[in-house]
């Protein structure tokens, strides 16, 4: 069961980054608002300055106050009503609303600041740095250099007009605008370069952050889907993160639902807590087999391994990664490998046994023809019976190696369901003498299924043999049902009134070489399920209640789920047999 609250691994404070377009828009908006706030503050300063000069008598020009007030209103209007956006490559309306107003305002203040009756001379040319910065940061290099060039020409024009009004040397009037223009060009170039570099670095940082976020999400997905348990534990025993497999292995409702919990909360977790403390104290990785006990649940043996993670956060706290592996899965994997090796060995032995067994059978048959003594006849019959038993075991072993999945491009054969089941059951009942105990309930007369006829017969005969082994000779002891499940599937159910299976037997029911009968090879049900999977079918066991001899009786039931076919190859139903046995059809 997965925890109810998801959390980033090893980084609980991580925030999901926005996409690249949102980050770019946010950066432009932030720069835009910064420049708008600076222009608005400058407008307030200019109005306050001109008002102070007028109040102190240093200036008697109300025009300068009017210009400063108009600039303040213009900056406030642009801040409120113009949406943040780049200035672009060329001079446009937005450039005029921002940079153009600044140029006109500062030029007017520079020209009119030395009016009649004025005792103050203020140089407003440093203010031209603001529109240069706006054009450099929010616009292109061409727009920034064009703005700097326009300001330089404007200041030179003001200087030439001033020299025409004065009879003194004009050199100081021209040198100062020229030097200021060079400075503005430098500011424009440097500002644009820095802005471009910062934009590039910001974009690269966003891309790296996005890649890191994707990698983090992939890592979290891998950890969450691992079959082994993973715990992130701090040096105090607090579990910062745990994947679903680890929570299941810990076996506690707190572990299943709590986002953060402590290994000290449950006595059964103390072995894991001690292993974590040893790893953190020594700075080395450790591994050992521990037993987790919790409540009414039985002990669970777990192979635990620790790895120390790099210190996290400012405090440099050490974290321990604890890997948990269920010993039952390891044992099951080893058992599967042993069974695979046993199967290969059994196949080789079966091939070697087959030829001598055939010779023994033939020699016994010849010997049986020549003897007449009842005691010798009994011995030859015993040899024949055991030879047939060995032959069946050999065939079962060889059949395991022959079961291979169909090619995906191969069209599976189609057979009529009821007719095939009827024939197989009739032949089996006649050969085993079980006519009395077998009953058929066929409800799909016109249904065809995707299954090989011979393979379906083998599955049915094997299941019927198993049912016969655990039932008595009485009516309705074994019942076979056919029915349509839905538009795509049909089912065959083989029911018997046998006693329920032991849990230890049911758990390994379909495993190869496992049998509760010492005379069985333990391959029958395994082959049946392999044949079903070969035909995209399924075979399951369940306890079910059926009507037997007029009474509801609980019994063992094996259910085959088969794929329906559009049209069977042979929809004709089998004619009733003329043999003495007639299965009951409903």
Instruction: Tell whether 192 is covered by a domain.
Output: yes
Specify whether 166 is located in the same domain as 275.
no
Query: pLDDT over 70 for what percent of the chain?
Result: 80
Mean pLDDT of the chain: 79
Instruction: Tell whether 462 is covered by a domain.
Output: yes
Pick the last residue of a domain from 330, 363, 398: 330
Question: Total domain count for the chain?
Answer: 3
Instruction: Tell whether 491 is covered by a domain.
Output: yes
Specify whether 62 is located in the same domain as 131.
yes
pLDDT of residue 335: 67
Q: Is the pLDDT of residue 520 over 70?
A: no
| 8 A C-beta contact, residue 154 and residue 178 | no
Specify whether 55 is located in the same domain as 150.
yes
Cα distance between residue 254 and residue 3, in whole Å: 10
Specify whether 437 is located in the same domain as 484.
yes
Specify whether 141 is located in the same domain as 252.
no
CATH number for position 310: 3.30.450.20
Higher pLDDT, 261 or 344: 261
pLDDT of residue 168: 64
Confidence at 177, pLDDT banded by 50, 70, 90: confident
Confidence at 317, pLDDT banded by 50, 70, 90: confident
Pick the last residue of a domain from 297, 330, 363: 330
Mean pLDDT of 236-257: 84
pLDDT of residue 11: 52
pLDDT of residue 4: 40
Q: Is the pLDDT of residue 584 over 60?
A: no
Specify whether 192 is located in the same domain as 245.
no
Cα distance between residue 275 and residue 271, in whole Å: 6
Is beta strand 478-484 parallel, antiparallel or unpaired with respect to 438-442? parallel
pLDDT of residue 557: 92
Confidence at 343, pLDDT banded by 50, 70, 90: low
The total of other beta-carbon atoms located within 10 Å of residue 347's CB is 16
pLDDT of residue 445: 78
pLDDT of residue 8: 53
DSSP-derived secondary structure letter, 60: -
Instruction: Tell whether 418 is covered by a domain.
Output: yes
pLDDT in tens, 274-316: 888 888 888 888 888 888 876 555 677 888 899 988 665 555 6
Instruction: Tell whether 135 is covered by a domain.
Output: yes
Token digits of residue 10: 């090893």
Pick the last residue of a domain from 204, 234, 260: 204
Instruction: Tell whether 543 is covered by a domain.
Output: yes
Specify whether 254 is located in the same domain as 141.
no
Cα distance between residue 258 and residue 253, in whole Å: 8
pLDDT of residue 169: 63
CATH number for position 490: 3.30.565.10
Higher pLDDT, 393 or 251: 251
Specify whether 230 is located in the same domain as 200.
no
Instruction: Tell whether 578 is covered by a domain.
Output: no
Q: Is the pLDDT of residue 58 over 80?
A: no
Confidence at 558, pLDDT banded by 50, 70, 90: very high
Q: What is the pTM of this model?
A: 0.45
- At which residue do the structure tokens 């940061």 appear? 137
Mean pLDDT of 90-106: 83
pLDDT in tens, 190-234: 988 888 888 888 888 888 888 988 988 888 888 888 888 898 888
pLDDT of residue 581: 42
Q: Is the pLDDT of residue 23 over 70?
A: no
Instruction: Tell whether 312 is covered by a domain.
Output: yes
Phi, psi of 151 (to 5 degrees): -65, -40
| 8 A C-beta contact, residue 561 and residue 538 | yes
Specify whether 318 is located in the same domain as 184.
no
Specify whether 62 is located in the same domain as 191.
yes
pLDDT of residue 217: 87
Specify whether 238 is located in the same domain as 307.
yes
The total of other beta-carbon atoms located within 10 Å of residue 89's CB is 11
Q: Give me the domain span that covers residue 33.
A: 20-204
Specify whether 435 is located in the same domain as 557.
yes
pLDDT in tens, 458-502: 889 889 988 888 888 888 899 999 988 888 888 999 999 988 887
């Amino acid at each position: 069961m997965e925890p109810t609250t998801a959390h980033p691994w090893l980084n609980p404070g991580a925030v999901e980054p926005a996409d690249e377009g949102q980050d770019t828009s946010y950066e432009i908006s932030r720069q835009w608002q910064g420049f708008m706030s600076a222009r608005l503050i400058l407008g307030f300063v200019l109005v306050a300055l001109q008002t102070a000069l007028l109040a102190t008598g240093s200036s008697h020009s109300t025009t300068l106050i009017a210009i400063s007030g108009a600039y303040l209103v213009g900056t406030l209007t642009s801040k409120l009503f113009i949406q943040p956006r780049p200035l672009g490559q060329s001079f446009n309306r937005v450039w005029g609303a921002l940079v153009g107003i600044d140029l006109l305002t500062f030029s007017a203040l520079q020209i009119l600041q030395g009016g009649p009756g004025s005792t103050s001379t203020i140089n407003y040319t440093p203010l031209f740095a603001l529109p240069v910065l706006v054009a450099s940061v929010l616009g292109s290099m061409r727009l920034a250099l064009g703005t700097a060039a326009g300001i330089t020409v404007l200041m030179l024009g003001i200087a030439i007009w001033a020299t025409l009004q004065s009879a003194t040397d004009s050199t100081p009037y021209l040198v100062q605008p020229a030097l200021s223009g060079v400075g503005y060009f430098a500011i424009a170039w440097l500002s644009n370069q820095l802005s471009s570099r910062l934009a590039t670095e910001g974009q690269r940082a966003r891309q790296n952050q996005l890649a890191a976020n994707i990698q983090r999400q992939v890592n979290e997905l891998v950890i969450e889907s691992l079959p082994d348990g993973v715990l992130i534990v701090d040096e105090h025993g607090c579990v910062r993160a745990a994947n679903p497999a680890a929570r299941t292995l810990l076996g506690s409702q707190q572990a299943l639902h709590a986002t953060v919990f402590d290994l000290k909360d449950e006595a059964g977790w103390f072995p894991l807590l001690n292993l974590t403390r040893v790893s953190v104290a020594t700075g080395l990785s450790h591994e050992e087999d521990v037993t987790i006990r919790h409540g009414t649940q039985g002990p669970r043996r777990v192979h635990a391994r620790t790895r120390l993670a790099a210190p996290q956060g400012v405090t440099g706290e050490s974290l321990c990664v604890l890997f948990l592996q269920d010993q039952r899965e390891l044992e099951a994997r080893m058992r599967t490998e042993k069974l695979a090796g046993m199967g290969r060995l059994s196949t080789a032995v079966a091939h070697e046994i087959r030829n001598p067994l055939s010779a023994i059978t033939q020699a016994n048959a010849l010997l049986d023809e020549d003897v007449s003594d009842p005691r010798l006849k009994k011995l030859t019959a015993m040899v024949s019976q055991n030879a047939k038993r060995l032959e069946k075991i050999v065939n079962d072993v060889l059949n395991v190696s022959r079961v291979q999945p169909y090619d995906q491009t191969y069209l599976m054969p189609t057979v009529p369901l009821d007719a095939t089941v009827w024939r197989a059951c009739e032949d089996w009942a006649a050969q085993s003498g079980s006519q009395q105990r077998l009953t058929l309930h066929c409800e799909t007369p016109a249904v065809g299924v995707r299954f090989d006829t011979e393979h379906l017969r083998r599955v049915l005969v094997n299941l019927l043999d198993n049912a016969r082994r655990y039932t008595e000779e009485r009516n309705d002891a074994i019942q076979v049902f056919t029915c349509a499940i839905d538009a795509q599937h049909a089912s065959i159910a083989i029911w018997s009134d046998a006693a329920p299976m032991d849990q230890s037997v049911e758990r390994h029911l379909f495993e190869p070489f496992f049998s509760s009968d010492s005379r069985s090879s333990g391959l029958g049900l395994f082959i049946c399920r392999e044949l079903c999977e070969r035909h995209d079918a399924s075979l399951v066991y369940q306890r079910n209640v059926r009507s037997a001899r007029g009474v509801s009786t609980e019994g063992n039931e094996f259910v085959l789920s088969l794929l329906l076919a559009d049209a069977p190859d042979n929809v004709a139903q089998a004619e009733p047999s003329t043999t003495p046995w007639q299965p009951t059809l409903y």
